[in-house]
């Protein structure tokens, strides 16, 4: 039987010269391909020695480091399921994920070990390790004693490789189950579509707990046997310094906005670059155009999501067409994408409707939520993305909005229902609404509008301060208003579109 383990495919793509540099960090450390192979073998052997049940989850909330990336690869290698968690998540958020996913292993920073291990042990997790971004922690201490030889566990394409939590409209996160086959098929398609070639060097500047940094960027480089310049955090000055040594860069739009603020960004600074890719949130046409003017490069925008990995992309090869700003390009080879109206009828070209997708990249379902999974698929098996868009006459797809109530801020998703839930629980609050408004840096940010219970007095700053105690920092509304009433339609439903219109100029002057 052939082994469809994603790690096996990535390992097979390592270059012949295992002593060549695979990863170089911003602090000057280098790792060879042999180092990646040996360290992931040792960690995989450590996981194997724990005698975990089949399909065991390995939940990880650690700072970005090469060792953290190796832990992801080791989890695949050992045949378990990787569950990455945003480092900004606080205890209530982590508690939910751990209780919901019931991981057999939790890895956290030594700084957070106290509270994370408490949550984990309470939820029945037997193994809690630490891993810090300075190559210390109990995970590495234990792995050092393990063999550096390991044969990748045999997996089928349909076996789960990772669970990515993505918040839901009800405010509770759902774990999207992605398989080895989902991830490998997508990585292979992108390798061809984006013309990855020998000698490519990727600047990896994104976090590794979401699709963009963990899958698109990492798998792209590994499957091509390409060196990565590994940045622990996005810093425009460091990226500027590294650009001459690189050929490929991937970022959410905020990264491009911040790079454009660097006076040194010009044609000379990007002279060796082959490709700039953007996604995770809409790239403003102003950013697209300014980038073209300053660097001579046309950013390639693509579209995807946690449940599906990448769905569409502007063309790399000019023979297939130009890269059109404001669009997300064509469905990738093997991906079906259709636009449907409210009645489920096909929308003609140019008409806006709900985007539905199909393909080998589409996830297996939501973790322990069969009903929710069923709801999100049509009867004929297409996944409803919750994004709203259209095809143009040349086959390019444009995303025009979302039917899901979602704010994307600096590439991170903020689900209003979750934040509203926390605000509504606060003493004196009658009701709240969180809306997304344009922001020059993050693209969009949340603004909370709150009404008090009769007789209660509320303080907007106090609400924000209380939220900061409970939620990841990127979810905190950038402004909060206490008002007498919320605009409602005849059904009594809050009209968020009116709130959005009212606050649209808070951070930027919109037309
Ligand atoms: C940070 N802050 C944010 C924020 N990031 N606020 C809103 N939205 C964000 N995204 C706030 C913090 O709360 C803090 O506020 C202040 O900004 C500074 O925090 P920081 O940690 O120093 O921020 P910084 O390091 O500058 O981070 C900004 C960023 C980061 C853009 C580099 O957000 C980022 O890496 N974004 C990328 C997200 C990503 O990878 N998305 C891919 C998802 S995958 P205060 O008030 O505390 O000072 C996906 C599918 C697909 O969507 O298609 O790819
Ligand atoms: P996530 O749940 O974090 O995976 O976020 C996925 C969502 O990000 C998609 O459903 C889209 O709404 C949005 N998204 C991703 N890429 C783009 C893009 N290029 N343009 C507009 N929206 C995007």
Residue 49 maps to a domain: yes
pLDDT higher than 70, residue 358? yes
Which atom of ligand 1 is least distant from the CA of 410? 10
More confident residue, 171 or 141: 141
Rounded CA separation 328/312 (Å)? 6
Q: What is the CA(303)–ligand 2 centre distance, in A?
A: 6
Q: What is the CA(74)–ligand 1 centre distance, in A?
A: 27
Same domain, 334 and 391: yes
Rounded CA separation 359/186 (Å)? 10
> Are 198 and 13 spatial neighbours (Cβ–Cβ below 8 Å)?
no
pLDDT higher than 80, residue 170? no
pLDDT higher than 70, residue 169? no
> Are 508 and 476 spatial neighbours (Cβ–Cβ below 8 Å)?
no
Instruction: Tell whether ligand 2 has an atom less than 6 A from the beta carbon of residue 166.
Output: yes
Instruction: Tell whether ligand 2 has an atom less than 6 A from the beta carbon of residue 306.
Output: yes
Q: Is 3 helix (H, G, I), strand (E, B) or coil?
A: coil
Q: Whose Cα sits closest to atom 30 in ligand 1?
A: 410
User: Domain tally for the chain?
Assistant: 3
Same domain, 51 and 99: yes
Per-residue pLDDT tens digits for 316-352: 999 999 999 999 999 999 999 999 999 999 999 999 9
Residue 412 maps to a domain: yes
Same domain, 43 and 151: yes
Residue 421 maps to a domain: yes
Q: Is 184 helix (H, G, I), strand (E, B) or coil?
A: helix
Same domain, 424 and 443: yes
Instruction: Return the CATH number at 50.
Output: 3.40.50.980
Residue 21 maps to a domain: no
Q: Which of 413, 414, 386, 391 is nearest to 401 (CA)?
A: 386
Ligand closest to Cα of 385 equals 2
Rounded CA separation 225/217 (Å)? 12
* pLDDT at res. 172: 78
Average pLDDT over residues 201-223: 98
Same domain, 440 and 346: no
Same domain, 419 and 399: no
The DSSP code sequence of 49-116 is HTTPPTT-EEEEE----HHHHHHHHHHHHHT-EEEE--TT--HHHHHHHHHHH--SEEEE-TTTHHHH
Same domain, 345 and 452: no
Q: Is 441 helix (H, G, I), strand (E, B) or coil?
A: coil
182 φ, ψ (degrees, to nearest 5): -55, -50
Characterize the bridge pairing of strands 81-84 and 57-61: parallel
Q: Whose Cα sits closest to atom 10 in ligand 2?
A: 305
Q: Whose Cα sits closest to atom 14 in ligand 1?
A: 473
* pLDDT at res. 404: 85
- Residues 320-327: contacts with CB under 8 Å, at least 24 apart: 321/394, 321/396, 322/298, 323/298, 323/299, 324/396, 325/283, 325/285, 325/288, 325/289, 325/299, 325/301, 326/285, 326/288, 326/398, 327/301, 327/392, 327/396, 327/397, 327/398
CA distances from 483 to 86, 427, 454, 475, 478 (A): 33, 16, 12, 21, 16
Which atom of ligand 2 is least distant from the CA of 166? 2
- Banded model confidence at residue 171, pLDDT cuts 50, 70, 90: low
Q: What is the CA(78)–ligand 1 centre distance, in A?
A: 31
Range of the domain at 39: 31-155
Residue 171 maps to a domain: no
Q: What is the CA(406)–ligand 2 centre distance, in A?
A: 10
Q: What is the CA(471)–ligand 2 centre distance, in A?
A: 21
* pLDDT at res. 376: 95
More confident residue, 172 or 311: 311
Residue 64 maps to a domain: yes
Which atom of ligand 2 is least distant from the CA of 306? 4
The per-residue pLDDT of the chain, averaged, comes to 97
Which atom of ligand 1 is least distant from the CA of 234? 32
Please count the residues of the chain: 511
Per-residue pLDDT tens digits for 456-479: 999 999 999 999 999 999 999 999
Final residue of a structural domain among 155, 172, 196:
155
Q: Give the pocket of ligand 1 (CB within 6 Å).
A: 206-207, 210-213, 233-234, 252, 254, 279-280, 304-305, 409-412, 442, 445, 473-474
> Residue 308 is encoded by which pair of tokens?
């599906």
Q: What is the CA(261)–ligand 1 centre distance, in A?
A: 17
Per-residue pLDDT tens digits for 370-384: 999 999 999 999 999
Characterize the bridge pairing of strands 160-166 and 174-179: antiparallel
Which atom of ligand 1 is least distant from the CA of 206? 40
Average pLDDT over residues 264-268: 98
* pLDDT at res. 67: 98
Q: CB-hemisphere CA count at 13 Å for 446?
A: 28
Same domain, 76 and 148: yes
Give this prediction's pTM: 0.97
Q: How far is CA 207 from the centre of its chain?
A: 8
Same domain, 437 and 475: yes
pLDDT higher than 90, residue 510? no
Mutate to test the pocket of ligand 1, among 252, 300, 402 (most ligand atoms within 8 A of CB): 252
Same domain, 398 and 421: no
Instruction: Return the CATH number at 434.
Output: 3.30.300.30
Q: What is the CA(115)–ligand 2 centre distance, in A?
A: 32
Average pLDDT over residues 220-247: 98
HEC readout, 342-387 = CCCCECCCCCCEEEEEECCCCCCEECCCHHHHHHHECCCCCEEEEE
* pLDDT at res. 167: 76
Per-residue pLDDT tens digits for 37-90: 999 999 999 999 999 999 999 999 999 999 999 999 999 999 999 999 999 999
* pLDDT at res. 465: 98
Share of the chain above pLDDT 70, in %: 99
Q: Whose Cα sits closest to atom 15 in ligand 1?
A: 473
195 φ, ψ (degrees, to nearest 5): 60, 35
Same domain, 379 and 484: no
Rounded CA separation 311/211 (Å)? 12
pLDDT higher than 70, residue 511? no
Residue 162 maps to a domain: no
Same domain, 72 and 141: yes
């Amino acid at each position: 039987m052939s082994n469809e383990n994603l790690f096996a495919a990535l390992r097979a793509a390592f270059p012949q010269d295992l002593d060549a540099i695979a990863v170089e960090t911003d602090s000057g450390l280098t790792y060879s391909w042999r180092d990646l192979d040996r360290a992931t073998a040792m960690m995989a052997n450590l996981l194997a020695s724990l005698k975990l049940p089949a399909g065991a989850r390995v939940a990880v909330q650690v700072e970005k480091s090469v060792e953290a990336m190796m832990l992801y690869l080791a989890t695949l290698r050992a045949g378990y399921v990787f569950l990455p968690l945003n480092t900004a998540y606080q205890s209530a958020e982590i508690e939910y994920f751990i209780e919901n996913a019931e991981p057999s292993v939790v890895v956290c920073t030594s700084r957070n070990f106290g509270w994370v291990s408490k949550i984990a042990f309470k939820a029945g997790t037997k193994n809690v390790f630490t891993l810090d971004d300075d190559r210390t922690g109990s995970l590495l201490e234990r792995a050092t004693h393990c063999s550096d030889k390991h044969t990748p566990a045999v997996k089928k394409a349909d076996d789960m490789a990772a669970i990515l939590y993505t918040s839901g409209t009800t405010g509770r996160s759902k774990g999207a189950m992605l398989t080895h086959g989902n991830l490998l098929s997508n990585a292979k398609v992108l390798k061809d579509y984006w013309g990855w070639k020998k000698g490519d060097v990727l600047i990896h500047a994104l976090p590794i707990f979401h699709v963009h940094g963990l899958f698109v960027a990492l798998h792209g480089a590994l499957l091509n046997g390409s060196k990565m310049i590994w940045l622990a955090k996005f810093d425009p000055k460091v990226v500027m310094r590294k650009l001459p040594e690189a050929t490929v860069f991937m970022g959410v739009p905020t990264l491009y906005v911040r790079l454009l603020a660097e006076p040194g960004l010009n044609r000379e600074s990007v002279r060796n670059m082959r490709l700039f890719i953007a996604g995770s949130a809409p790239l403003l046409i102003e950013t697209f155009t300014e980038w073209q003017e300053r660097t001579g490069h046309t950013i390639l925008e693509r579209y995807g999501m946690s449940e599906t990995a990448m769905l569409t992309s502007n063309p790399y090869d000019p023979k297939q067409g130009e890269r059109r700003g404001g669009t997300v390009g064509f469905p990738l080879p093997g991906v079906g994408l259709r636009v449907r109206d409210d009645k489920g009828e096909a929308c003609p070209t140019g008409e806006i409707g709900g985007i539905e997708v199909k393909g080998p990249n589409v996830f297996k379902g939501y973790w322990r939520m069969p009903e929710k999974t069923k709801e999100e698929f049509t009867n004929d098996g297409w996944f409803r993305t919750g994004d709203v868009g259209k095809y143009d006459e040349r086959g390019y797809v444009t995303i025009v909005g979302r039917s899901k109530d979602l704010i994307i801020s600096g590439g991170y998703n903020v689900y209003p229902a979750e934040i509203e839930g926390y605000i509504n629980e606060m003493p004196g609050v009658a009701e709240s609404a969180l809306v997304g408004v344009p922001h020059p840096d993050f693209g969009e940010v949340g603004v909370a509008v709150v009404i008090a219970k009769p007789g209660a007095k509320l303080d907007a700053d106090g609400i924000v301060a209380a939220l900061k105690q409970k939620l990841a920092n990127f979810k905190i509304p950038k402004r909060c208003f206490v008002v007498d009433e919320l605009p409602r339609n005849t059904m009594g439903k809050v009209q968020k579109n009116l709130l959005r219109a009212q606050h649209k100029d808070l951070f930027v002057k919109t037309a």
